[in-house]
Amino acid sequence: MEIVTKDNQAKQLTISDFLVDHLKNIIDGTPKKDVEGTPFDSRKVFLFFSVDLVNSTLFKAENPNWVPVVRDFYEMVRKHVVERDFGSIIQVWKYSGDEVLFYSHVENVESIIKAPSHLHEAMQMALSELYDIHKEARNFLYMKGAVWMAIASENNILREFGRSGVVTNDSGENILMPQNIYFELPNCGKLDFVGTEIDEGFRMCGNAVRGKVVIDPKIAYMLANNRDLWKELVKNEVEETVRIVGYDRLKGIWKGRMYPVIWYTKNWNKSFLYDEWDANKFVKSAYDGDYTKIEFINKIFEDLGLSEGTVKYVKELL
């Protein structure tokens, strides 16, 4: 655990250091108090899923009877994402236009590894069912997905930090305020989330495309470094399904550095429409076979210092 000395007095720990211990606890199955004398018992690791309906605006304009189609899209996506076996409980987070968002409190490492394939299969099954019921949607409406990961602390923890944003434990170590928080919405028992990694996920969703799942680099790093577990759970090689298709600058994310656009799909050879190369620059690159193997994520993290920082916990899972 990296400890930075500040003014030769207190040691300062980043929230990523806590994530190391938290995921260790998940693996060991032994809950432990995070740091003696600090209020971090509410920290949890969450996965977030997004499924969005593609071509919905045009479909609504051309089909006056669009309401039952969108209604069934909501229900079919919910059914296949939530009810299929995943290993951790997935819950609906919110509905936003033609997008359905889910969250899952991570119970095990296997759930993180399976997340992209689980969402992709759920999208395929939901789309097939939608086509069976609504013939007018066939070859018109499609789905795109995203999956990302974040650690969040319960909202009431903020009272412990006050205006300074720092709390000191019994050992004199300064603990920085969490980057993400969760809180219970009134009268419904549902959770909501805010924070930097939540924002990152929504920015990342902008690079989702038809038939693919765009993946958070932290999850991609785990996939690239847990190949045997991936093969055991997903039944293929990670290089066959996960690829870096380009780079983008996401507003407010990674301090303006280039952010890898990483897609998962089960069969790349059959994943594009004949004229889809014109959709955007990332589709064109992938369509032309111009992509980077997922193992390059290690180089990216090394260059950014993330291997020993924000995602240090990933190495603890190897």
User: pTM for the whole thing?
Assistant: 0.81
- With tokens 């290993």, the residue in question is 87
**The residue count for the chain:** 318
Which among 6, 34, 35, 49 is positioned nearest to 214, based on CA atoms?
Answer: 49
Q: What is the pLDDT along the chain (318 residues), one digit of tens a residue?
A: 333 333 433 333 344 444 444 444 443 444 334 433 344 446 688 999 999 999 999 999 999 999 999 999 999 999 999 998 887 899 999 999 999 999 999 878 899 999 999 999 999 999 999 999 999 999 999 999 999 998 887 765 544 444 444 445 555 554 445 678 888 888 777 889 999 999 999 999 999 999 999 999 999 998 998 899 999 999 989 999 999 999 999 999 998 999 999 999 998 888 888 888 887 889 888 888 889 999 999 999 888 887 655 455 534 433
The answer regarding whether domain 4-315 maps to CATH 3.40.640.10 reads no
Q: Where are the domains of the chain?
A: 4-315
**Residue 286 in contact with residue 242, Cβ under 8 Å?**
no
**Residue 33 in contact with residue 22, Cβ under 8 Å?**
no
